Chains A and B, each alone.
Chain A
Amino acid sequence: MPQEPVIEFQNVSFVIGKTQVLSCVSLQVSRGETLALLGRSGSGKTTTLKLINRLVGPTSGEVLVNGKPNRDADVIRLRRGMGYVIQDVGLFPHFTVAKNIGLVPEIEGWNAERIRRRVQELLKLVGLGDEMAVRYPHQLSGGQRQRVGVARALAADPEILLMDEPFGALDPLTRDELQREFLRLQQRLNKTVVFVTHDLREALRLGSRIALMEAGNLVTVQTPEEFLKSSDPWASAYVRAFGDGLVSATQRGEP
Protein backbone atom coordinates (compact mmCIF):
# COMPACT_ATOMS: atom_id res chain seq x y z
CA MET A 1 0.00 0.00 0.00
CA PRO A 2 1.67 3.22 -1.11
CA GLN A 3 1.77 5.78 1.63
CA GLU A 4 2.27 9.50 1.39
CA PRO A 5 5.86 10.26 2.36
CA VAL A 6 6.36 12.20 5.58
CA ILE A 7 9.39 13.98 4.15
CA GLU A 8 10.02 14.55 0.49
CA PHE A 9 12.82 16.31 -1.38
CA GLN A 10 11.99 17.45 -4.91
CA ASN A 11 15.06 18.36 -6.96
CA VAL A 12 16.62 20.24 -4.08
CA SER A 13 19.82 22.17 -4.70
CA PHE A 14 21.72 24.29 -2.26
CA VAL A 15 24.45 26.71 -3.26
CA ILE A 16 26.45 28.82 -0.86
CA GLY A 17 28.64 31.43 -2.53
CA LYS A 18 30.05 29.52 -5.45
CA THR A 19 30.02 26.15 -3.76
CA GLN A 20 27.41 23.66 -4.88
CA VAL A 21 26.64 21.95 -1.59
CA LEU A 22 23.71 19.90 -2.89
CA SER A 23 22.75 19.24 -6.48
CA CYS A 24 19.28 18.15 -7.39
CA VAL A 25 18.50 15.80 -4.52
CA SER A 26 15.20 13.94 -4.65
CA LEU A 27 14.29 11.70 -1.77
CA GLN A 28 11.32 10.33 0.10
CA VAL A 29 11.04 9.22 3.69
CA SER A 30 7.97 7.25 4.74
CA ARG A 31 6.28 7.13 8.09
CA GLY A 32 8.06 5.10 10.74
CA GLU A 33 11.21 4.48 8.78
CA THR A 34 14.74 5.29 9.85
CA LEU A 35 16.70 6.82 7.02
CA ALA A 36 20.46 6.95 7.39
CA LEU A 37 22.19 9.72 5.48
CA LEU A 38 25.62 8.24 4.93
CA GLY A 39 28.58 10.07 3.47
CA ARG A 40 31.96 11.55 4.18
CA SER A 41 32.55 15.03 5.59
CA GLY A 42 31.45 17.69 3.13
CA SER A 43 29.18 15.37 1.20
CA GLY A 44 26.15 17.50 2.07
CA LYS A 45 24.45 15.16 4.51
CA THR A 46 24.18 17.66 7.36
CA THR A 47 22.85 20.28 4.97
CA THR A 48 20.24 17.79 3.80
CA LEU A 49 19.17 17.28 7.41
CA LYS A 50 19.02 21.02 8.09
CA LEU A 51 16.86 21.55 5.03
CA ILE A 52 14.17 19.47 6.70
CA ASN A 53 13.79 21.76 9.72
CA ARG A 54 14.69 24.81 7.63
CA LEU A 55 17.83 25.73 9.49
CA VAL A 56 18.85 26.28 5.88
CA GLY A 57 16.60 27.03 2.92
CA PRO A 58 17.08 25.46 -0.51
CA THR A 59 18.45 27.50 -3.41
CA SER A 60 16.06 25.68 -5.70
CA GLY A 61 13.65 22.80 -5.40
CA GLU A 62 11.18 22.02 -2.65
CA VAL A 63 11.22 20.18 0.64
CA LEU A 64 7.84 18.85 1.66
CA VAL A 65 6.87 17.77 5.16
CA ASN A 66 3.59 15.86 5.38
CA GLY A 67 2.88 16.88 1.81
CA LYS A 68 3.25 20.61 2.45
CA PRO A 69 6.21 22.65 1.17
CA ASN A 70 8.13 23.65 4.29
CA ARG A 71 9.01 27.04 2.84
CA ASP A 72 5.38 28.06 3.39
CA ALA A 73 5.24 26.62 6.88
CA ASP A 74 5.60 28.61 10.09
CA VAL A 75 9.21 27.75 10.76
CA ILE A 76 8.81 27.77 14.55
CA ARG A 77 5.85 25.38 14.46
CA LEU A 78 7.67 23.24 11.91
CA ARG A 79 10.71 22.89 14.17
CA ARG A 80 8.68 22.21 17.29
CA GLY A 81 7.12 19.30 15.45
CA MET A 82 10.54 17.74 14.95
CA GLY A 83 13.06 16.59 17.50
CA TYR A 84 16.61 17.64 16.75
CA VAL A 85 19.68 15.95 18.19
CA ILE A 86 23.22 17.03 17.29
CA GLN A 87 26.64 15.58 17.92
CA ASP A 88 27.70 18.30 20.34
CA VAL A 89 24.34 17.82 22.07
CA GLY A 90 24.04 21.53 22.75
CA LEU A 91 22.41 21.14 26.16
CA PHE A 92 21.74 24.50 27.77
CA PRO A 93 24.52 24.72 30.37
CA HIS A 94 22.59 27.09 32.64
CA PHE A 95 19.57 24.78 32.88
CA THR A 96 19.18 21.59 34.87
CA VAL A 97 18.48 18.35 33.01
CA ALA A 98 14.77 18.68 33.83
CA LYS A 99 14.66 22.25 32.52
CA ASN A 100 16.53 21.25 29.37
CA ILE A 101 14.05 18.49 28.64
CA GLY A 102 11.05 20.57 29.66
CA LEU A 103 11.88 23.73 27.72
CA VAL A 104 9.82 23.12 24.59
CA PRO A 105 6.80 21.86 26.58
CA GLU A 106 7.18 24.95 28.78
CA ILE A 107 7.14 27.42 25.90
CA GLU A 108 4.28 25.42 24.42
CA GLY A 109 2.40 26.35 27.57
CA TRP A 110 2.12 22.99 29.35
CA ASN A 111 1.43 23.26 33.06
CA ALA A 112 4.18 22.49 35.57
CA GLU A 113 2.72 19.19 36.72
CA ARG A 114 2.40 17.85 33.18
CA ILE A 115 5.96 18.91 32.38
CA ARG A 116 7.24 17.22 35.55
CA ARG A 117 5.53 13.97 34.67
CA ARG A 118 6.75 14.14 31.08
CA VAL A 119 10.34 14.73 32.22
CA GLN A 120 10.14 11.73 34.55
CA GLU A 121 8.72 9.57 31.80
CA LEU A 122 11.42 10.61 29.32
CA LEU A 123 14.29 10.12 31.76
CA LYS A 124 13.04 6.58 32.30
CA LEU A 125 12.66 6.08 28.57
CA VAL A 126 16.28 6.98 27.86
CA GLY A 127 17.54 4.97 30.80
CA LEU A 128 18.38 7.70 33.29
CA GLY A 129 17.40 7.77 36.95
CA ASP A 130 15.11 10.38 38.49
CA GLU A 131 18.04 11.83 40.43
CA MET A 132 19.47 13.13 37.14
CA ALA A 133 16.67 15.69 36.82
CA VAL A 134 18.34 18.21 39.12
CA ARG A 135 21.84 17.91 37.70
CA TYR A 136 23.48 20.37 35.36
CA PRO A 137 24.97 19.30 32.01
CA HIS A 138 28.57 19.71 33.23
CA GLN A 139 27.88 17.11 35.91
CA LEU A 140 27.04 14.43 33.34
CA SER A 141 29.15 12.02 31.31
CA GLY A 142 29.17 12.20 27.51
CA GLY A 143 26.77 9.29 27.19
CA GLN A 144 24.38 10.71 29.78
CA ARG A 145 24.42 14.05 28.02
CA GLN A 146 23.54 12.44 24.72
CA ARG A 147 20.67 10.57 26.41
CA VAL A 148 19.38 13.86 27.76
CA GLY A 149 19.72 15.29 24.24
CA VAL A 150 17.50 12.51 22.90
CA ALA A 151 15.00 12.96 25.74
CA ARG A 152 14.88 16.69 25.04
CA ALA A 153 14.22 16.06 21.36
CA LEU A 154 11.35 13.74 22.24
CA ALA A 155 9.83 16.05 24.85
CA ALA A 156 6.88 17.41 22.91
CA ASP A 157 6.35 14.02 21.25
CA PRO A 158 7.31 15.08 17.72
CA GLU A 159 6.45 12.88 14.80
CA ILE A 160 9.85 13.33 13.19
CA LEU A 161 13.28 12.98 14.73
CA LEU A 162 16.36 14.50 13.09
CA MET A 163 19.75 13.37 14.36
CA ASP A 164 23.12 14.70 13.24
CA GLU A 165 25.83 12.18 14.15
CA PRO A 166 24.14 11.67 17.49
CA PHE A 167 26.57 9.02 18.72
CA GLY A 168 29.67 10.26 16.90
CA ALA A 169 31.51 11.74 19.86
CA LEU A 170 31.05 8.77 22.19
CA ASP A 171 33.48 6.02 23.10
CA PRO A 172 32.78 2.69 21.34
CA LEU A 173 31.18 0.97 24.33
CA THR A 174 28.83 3.85 25.12
CA ARG A 175 28.03 4.22 21.43
CA ASP A 176 27.11 0.55 21.20
CA GLU A 177 24.91 0.87 24.27
CA LEU A 178 23.13 3.95 22.91
CA GLN A 179 22.64 2.38 19.48
CA ARG A 180 20.98 -0.63 21.11
CA GLU A 181 18.73 1.64 23.11
CA PHE A 182 17.89 3.68 20.05
CA LEU A 183 16.69 0.50 18.31
CA ARG A 184 14.64 -0.49 21.33
CA LEU A 185 13.19 3.03 21.55
CA GLN A 186 12.41 3.14 17.85
CA GLN A 187 10.53 -0.17 18.08
CA ARG A 188 8.33 1.34 20.75
CA LEU A 189 7.87 4.86 19.44
CA ASN A 190 7.94 4.27 15.70
CA LYS A 191 8.97 7.82 14.82
CA THR A 192 10.07 8.89 11.39
CA VAL A 193 13.82 9.30 11.84
CA VAL A 194 16.47 10.83 9.61
CA PHE A 195 19.99 10.55 10.93
CA VAL A 196 23.37 11.57 9.60
CA THR A 197 26.43 9.39 10.00
CA HIS A 198 29.76 8.67 8.34
CA ASP A 199 29.88 5.24 9.97
CA LEU A 200 28.62 2.50 7.62
CA ARG A 201 28.32 0.10 10.53
CA GLU A 202 25.97 2.51 12.31
CA ALA A 203 23.99 3.10 9.12
CA LEU A 204 23.55 -0.64 8.57
CA ARG A 205 22.59 -1.24 12.14
CA LEU A 206 20.13 1.58 12.71
CA GLY A 207 18.83 2.46 9.27
CA SER A 208 15.90 0.85 7.54
CA ARG A 209 17.26 2.47 4.39
CA ILE A 210 20.59 4.08 3.63
CA ALA A 211 20.94 7.18 1.48
CA LEU A 212 24.51 7.45 0.30
CA MET A 213 25.78 10.93 -0.48
CA GLU A 214 28.92 12.02 -2.25
CA ALA A 215 29.98 15.56 -3.17
CA GLY A 216 26.48 16.99 -2.93
CA ASN A 217 24.83 14.23 -4.88
CA LEU A 218 22.52 11.55 -3.65
CA VAL A 219 24.24 8.46 -5.04
CA THR A 220 21.79 5.76 -4.09
CA VAL A 221 19.12 4.82 -1.55
CA GLN A 222 19.06 1.17 -0.54
CA THR A 223 18.14 -1.12 2.32
CA PRO A 224 21.08 -2.36 4.39
CA GLU A 225 20.92 -5.82 2.76
CA GLU A 226 20.91 -4.32 -0.73
CA PHE A 227 23.66 -1.93 0.19
CA LEU A 228 26.06 -4.72 1.12
CA LYS A 229 25.53 -6.45 -2.22
CA SER A 230 25.35 -3.23 -4.20
CA SER A 231 27.15 -2.91 -7.49
CA ASP A 232 27.23 0.85 -7.14
CA PRO A 233 30.91 1.89 -7.16
CA TRP A 234 30.54 4.33 -4.25
CA ALA A 235 28.56 1.89 -2.16
CA SER A 236 31.02 -0.94 -2.75
CA ALA A 237 33.90 1.43 -2.00
CA TYR A 238 32.26 2.10 1.35
CA VAL A 239 31.73 -1.59 2.02
CA ARG A 240 35.40 -2.30 1.17
CA ALA A 241 36.62 0.51 3.39
CA PHE A 242 34.80 -0.90 6.39
CA GLY A 243 35.97 -4.45 5.72
CA ASP A 244 34.62 -7.65 7.25
CA GLY A 245 31.90 -8.30 9.73
CA LEU A 246 29.36 -5.92 8.24
CA VAL A 247 26.67 -8.54 7.74
CA SER A 248 26.40 -8.97 11.49
CA ALA A 249 25.69 -5.25 11.79
CA THR A 250 22.49 -5.63 9.77
CA GLN A 251 21.31 -8.23 12.30
CA ARG A 252 21.15 -5.25 14.63
CA GLY A 253 22.87 -7.11 17.45
CA GLU A 254 19.57 -8.04 19.08
CA PRO A 255 18.51 -5.00 21.05
Chain B
Amino acid sequence: MNVVRFMFENRAQVFDLTLEHLWLVGLSTAFAMLIGIPLGILIAHRPRLNRPVLAGANVIQTIPSLALFGFLLPVPWIGDRSGRLAVLALTLYALLPIIRNTYTGICGVDPAVVEAGRGMGLTESQLLFRVELPLAMSVILSGVRIAIVISVGVATIAAAIGAGGLGEFIFRGLAMVDNRVIFAGAIPAAILALIADLGVGWAERRLRVR
Protein backbone atom coordinates (compact mmCIF):
# COMPACT_ATOMS: atom_id res chain seq x y z
CA MET B 1 0.00 0.00 0.00
CA ASN B 2 2.99 2.25 0.58
CA VAL B 3 3.73 2.16 -3.13
CA VAL B 4 0.22 3.22 -4.02
CA ARG B 5 0.28 6.03 -1.51
CA PHE B 6 3.67 7.19 -2.75
CA MET B 7 2.47 7.18 -6.35
CA PHE B 8 -0.70 9.01 -5.39
CA GLU B 9 1.19 11.67 -3.50
CA ASN B 10 3.55 12.14 -6.45
CA ARG B 11 0.89 11.69 -9.11
CA ALA B 12 1.86 14.84 -11.00
CA GLN B 13 5.39 13.59 -11.42
CA VAL B 14 4.27 10.02 -12.23
CA PHE B 15 2.05 11.49 -14.91
CA ASP B 16 4.78 13.71 -16.36
CA LEU B 17 7.35 10.97 -16.46
CA THR B 18 4.88 8.54 -18.02
CA LEU B 19 4.16 11.11 -20.74
CA GLU B 20 7.87 11.60 -21.27
CA HIS B 21 8.31 7.85 -21.48
CA LEU B 22 5.50 7.56 -24.00
CA TRP B 23 7.06 10.34 -26.03
CA LEU B 24 10.43 8.55 -26.14
CA VAL B 25 8.86 5.22 -27.11
CA GLY B 26 6.34 6.68 -29.55
CA LEU B 27 8.82 8.87 -31.40
CA SER B 28 11.45 6.16 -31.66
CA THR B 29 8.95 3.53 -32.79
CA ALA B 30 7.65 5.92 -35.43
CA PHE B 31 11.18 6.52 -36.72
CA ALA B 32 11.95 2.81 -36.64
CA MET B 33 8.81 2.10 -38.71
CA LEU B 34 9.70 4.87 -41.12
CA ILE B 35 13.11 3.32 -41.69
CA GLY B 36 12.46 -0.35 -40.98
CA ILE B 37 9.36 -1.00 -43.12
CA PRO B 38 10.88 0.37 -46.36
CA LEU B 39 14.11 -1.51 -45.59
CA GLY B 40 12.18 -4.72 -45.01
CA ILE B 41 10.30 -4.24 -48.29
CA LEU B 42 13.56 -3.56 -50.08
CA ILE B 43 15.32 -6.70 -48.86
CA ALA B 44 12.25 -8.82 -49.61
CA HIS B 45 12.54 -7.72 -53.25
CA ARG B 46 16.36 -7.70 -53.42
CA PRO B 47 17.40 -10.99 -51.83
CA ARG B 48 21.05 -10.08 -52.16
CA LEU B 49 20.64 -7.31 -49.59
CA ASN B 50 18.84 -9.32 -46.97
CA ARG B 51 21.88 -10.83 -45.25
CA PRO B 52 23.89 -7.63 -44.77
CA VAL B 53 20.86 -5.63 -43.63
CA LEU B 54 19.59 -8.23 -41.18
CA ALA B 55 23.14 -8.85 -39.91
CA GLY B 56 23.57 -5.12 -39.29
CA ALA B 57 20.30 -4.89 -37.38
CA ASN B 58 21.27 -7.99 -35.43
CA VAL B 59 24.61 -6.50 -34.39
CA ILE B 60 22.90 -3.35 -33.12
CA GLN B 61 20.56 -5.52 -31.09
CA THR B 62 23.49 -7.24 -29.35
CA ILE B 63 25.02 -3.98 -28.05
CA PRO B 64 24.03 -3.57 -24.40
CA SER B 65 21.72 -0.60 -24.14
CA LEU B 66 23.75 1.28 -21.58
CA ALA B 67 26.84 0.93 -23.80
CA LEU B 68 24.90 2.12 -26.85
CA PHE B 69 23.87 5.29 -25.00
CA GLY B 70 27.55 5.79 -24.17
CA PHE B 71 28.73 5.21 -27.75
CA LEU B 72 26.31 7.78 -29.12
CA LEU B 73 27.29 10.48 -26.61
CA PRO B 74 30.15 11.95 -28.72
CA VAL B 75 28.05 12.08 -31.91
CA PRO B 76 27.57 15.74 -32.92
CA TRP B 77 24.07 17.24 -32.64
CA ILE B 78 22.72 13.94 -31.36
CA GLY B 79 24.92 14.05 -28.26
CA ASP B 80 23.96 17.65 -27.46
CA ARG B 81 20.55 16.71 -26.10
CA SER B 82 19.96 13.57 -24.10
CA GLY B 83 16.42 13.31 -25.53
CA ARG B 84 17.72 13.09 -29.10
CA LEU B 85 20.28 10.55 -28.07
CA ALA B 86 17.71 8.38 -26.32
CA VAL B 87 15.35 8.50 -29.29
CA LEU B 88 18.16 7.51 -31.66
CA ALA B 89 19.26 4.59 -29.48
CA LEU B 90 15.69 3.36 -29.06
CA THR B 91 15.09 3.68 -32.81
CA LEU B 92 18.14 1.53 -33.50
CA TYR B 93 16.90 -1.11 -31.07
CA ALA B 94 13.45 -1.19 -32.59
CA LEU B 95 14.77 -1.69 -36.13
CA LEU B 96 15.49 -5.41 -36.03
CA PRO B 97 12.01 -6.75 -35.21
CA ILE B 98 10.40 -4.32 -37.65
CA ILE B 99 12.77 -5.04 -40.55
CA ARG B 100 12.66 -8.76 -39.94
CA ASN B 101 8.89 -9.00 -39.69
CA THR B 102 8.34 -6.81 -42.74
CA TYR B 103 10.69 -9.06 -44.67
CA THR B 104 9.03 -12.23 -43.40
CA GLY B 105 5.56 -10.85 -44.04
CA ILE B 106 6.24 -9.81 -47.64
CA CYS B 107 8.06 -13.06 -48.43
CA GLY B 108 5.16 -14.98 -46.91
CA VAL B 109 2.64 -13.67 -49.46
CA ASP B 110 1.48 -16.57 -51.65
CA PRO B 111 3.59 -16.47 -54.85
CA ALA B 112 0.52 -17.43 -56.89
CA VAL B 113 -1.23 -14.27 -55.72
CA VAL B 114 1.74 -12.11 -56.69
CA GLU B 115 2.06 -13.83 -60.05
CA ALA B 116 -1.64 -13.43 -60.75
CA GLY B 117 -1.41 -9.75 -59.85
CA ARG B 118 1.60 -9.18 -62.05
CA GLY B 119 0.01 -11.14 -64.90
CA MET B 120 -3.13 -9.00 -64.65
CA GLY B 121 -1.02 -5.94 -65.29
CA LEU B 122 -0.63 -4.41 -61.85
CA THR B 123 2.38 -2.12 -61.67
CA GLU B 124 5.02 -2.93 -59.06
CA SER B 125 3.73 -0.18 -56.77
CA GLN B 126 0.10 -1.29 -57.17
CA LEU B 127 1.26 -4.80 -56.34
CA LEU B 128 3.04 -3.51 -53.23
CA PHE B 129 0.32 -1.24 -51.87
CA ARG B 130 -2.76 -3.22 -52.85
CA VAL B 131 -1.53 -6.77 -52.44
CA GLU B 132 1.77 -7.33 -50.65
CA LEU B 133 1.52 -4.77 -47.84
CA PRO B 134 -2.11 -5.49 -46.88
CA LEU B 135 -1.39 -9.20 -46.82
CA ALA B 136 1.81 -8.72 -44.80
CA MET B 137 0.30 -6.13 -42.44
CA SER B 138 -0.47 -8.40 -39.50
CA VAL B 139 3.05 -9.85 -39.53
CA ILE B 140 4.54 -6.34 -39.78
CA LEU B 141 2.39 -5.18 -36.86
CA SER B 142 3.53 -8.08 -34.74
CA GLY B 143 7.09 -6.81 -35.32
CA VAL B 144 6.00 -3.33 -34.28
CA ARG B 145 4.42 -4.80 -31.18
CA ILE B 146 7.67 -6.54 -30.20
CA ALA B 147 9.59 -3.32 -30.88
CA ILE B 148 7.28 -1.29 -28.64
CA VAL B 149 7.46 -3.74 -25.76
CA ILE B 150 11.26 -3.80 -25.97
CA SER B 151 11.38 0.01 -26.20
CA VAL B 152 9.24 0.53 -23.12
CA GLY B 153 11.79 -1.49 -21.16
CA VAL B 154 14.93 -0.05 -22.70
CA ALA B 155 13.60 3.51 -22.41
CA THR B 156 13.84 3.24 -18.61
CA ILE B 157 17.62 3.15 -19.05
CA ALA B 158 17.49 6.46 -20.90
CA ALA B 159 17.19 8.10 -17.50
CA ALA B 160 20.84 7.17 -16.92
CA ILE B 161 21.86 9.79 -19.48
CA GLY B 162 19.30 12.27 -18.25
CA ALA B 163 16.69 11.76 -20.94
CA GLY B 164 13.91 11.40 -18.39
CA GLY B 165 11.06 8.94 -18.53
CA LEU B 166 9.99 6.46 -15.89
CA GLY B 167 13.60 5.35 -15.45
CA GLU B 168 14.05 8.49 -13.33
CA PHE B 169 12.07 6.86 -10.52
CA ILE B 170 13.89 3.58 -10.94
CA PHE B 171 17.38 5.09 -10.76
CA ARG B 172 16.38 7.39 -7.93
CA GLY B 173 14.89 4.46 -6.02
CA LEU B 174 18.04 2.44 -6.56
CA ALA B 175 20.17 5.29 -5.21
CA MET B 176 17.85 5.78 -2.22
CA VAL B 177 17.42 2.06 -1.68
CA ASP B 178 13.68 2.70 -1.63
CA ASN B 179 11.49 0.10 -3.32
CA ARG B 180 8.47 2.41 -3.34
CA VAL B 181 10.27 4.78 -5.64
CA ILE B 182 11.49 1.95 -7.88
CA PHE B 183 7.93 0.60 -8.20
CA ALA B 184 6.60 4.08 -8.97
CA GLY B 185 8.65 3.82 -12.16
CA ALA B 186 8.37 0.11 -12.85
CA ILE B 187 4.61 -0.27 -12.44
CA PRO B 188 3.56 2.43 -14.94
CA ALA B 189 6.20 1.11 -17.37
CA ALA B 190 4.79 -2.39 -17.11
CA ILE B 191 1.27 -1.05 -17.63
CA LEU B 192 2.41 0.90 -20.70
CA ALA B 193 3.98 -2.24 -22.15
CA LEU B 194 0.83 -4.26 -21.50
CA ILE B 195 -1.48 -1.67 -23.04
CA ALA B 196 0.70 -1.38 -26.14
CA ASP B 197 0.92 -5.15 -26.41
CA LEU B 198 -2.85 -5.59 -26.18
CA GLY B 199 -3.66 -2.64 -28.43
CA VAL B 200 -1.34 -3.53 -31.28
CA GLY B 201 -2.19 -7.22 -30.83
CA TRP B 202 -5.84 -6.35 -31.35
CA ALA B 203 -5.05 -4.42 -34.55
CA GLU B 204 -2.89 -7.30 -35.69
CA ARG B 205 -5.76 -9.77 -35.35
CA ARG B 206 -8.17 -7.40 -37.08
CA LEU B 207 -5.87 -7.18 -40.09
CA ARG B 208 -5.04 -10.85 -40.33
CA VAL B 209 -6.14 -12.34 -43.64
CA ARG B 210 -7.22 -15.91 -43.99
Cβ contact within 8 Å between A55 and B122: no
Binds B, one of A73-81, A113-121, A186-194: A73-81
Q: Which residue of A lies closest to B118 (CB)?
A: A55
Q: Is the CB of A89 within 8 A of B116?
A: yes
**Bound-complex Cα distance A186 to B113 (A):** 25
Tally inter-chain residue pairs, CB-CB below 8 A: 63
Query: Given the complex of chains A and B, what is the CA–CA distance between A81 and B114 in angstroms?
Result: 18
Is B117 engaged at the interface, CB distance under 8 Å to the other chain?
Answer: yes
B210 x A138 contact (CB < 8 A): yes
Question: Interface range on chain B: under 10, 10 to 19, 20 to 34, or 35 or more?
Answer: 20 to 34
CA separation between A149 and B116, bound complex, in Å? 9
Q: Is the CB of A93 within 8 A of B120?
A: no
* A152 partner, pick from B120, B131, B134, beta carbons under 8 A: B120
Q: Which residues of A contact B2 (CB under 8 A)?
A: none
Complex Cα–Cα for A230 and B116 (A): 36
**Chain A residues near B210 (CB, 8 Å)?**
93, 136, 138
Given contacts A93-B135, A93-B209, contact A80 B119 (CB under 8 A): no
Q: Tell me whether B119 and A79 are in contact (CB under 8 A).
A: yes
Chain B residue with minimal CB distance to A78?
Answer: B121
Task: Report the Cα distance A149→B210, complex, angstroms.
Answer: 18
A-chain residues with CB within 8 Å of residue B135 when the two chains form the complex: 93-94
Q: Is A90 an interface residue (CB 8 A)?
A: yes
- Would you mind naming 7 contact pairs between A and B with Cβ atoms under 8 Å apart? A77-B121, A78-B121, A80-B121, A92-B116, A92-B131, A103-B120, A153-B120
Closest 8 pairs (CB-CB, A-B): A90-B116, A79-B121, A88-B112, A84-B119, A80-B121, A90-B112, A94-B209, A138-B210
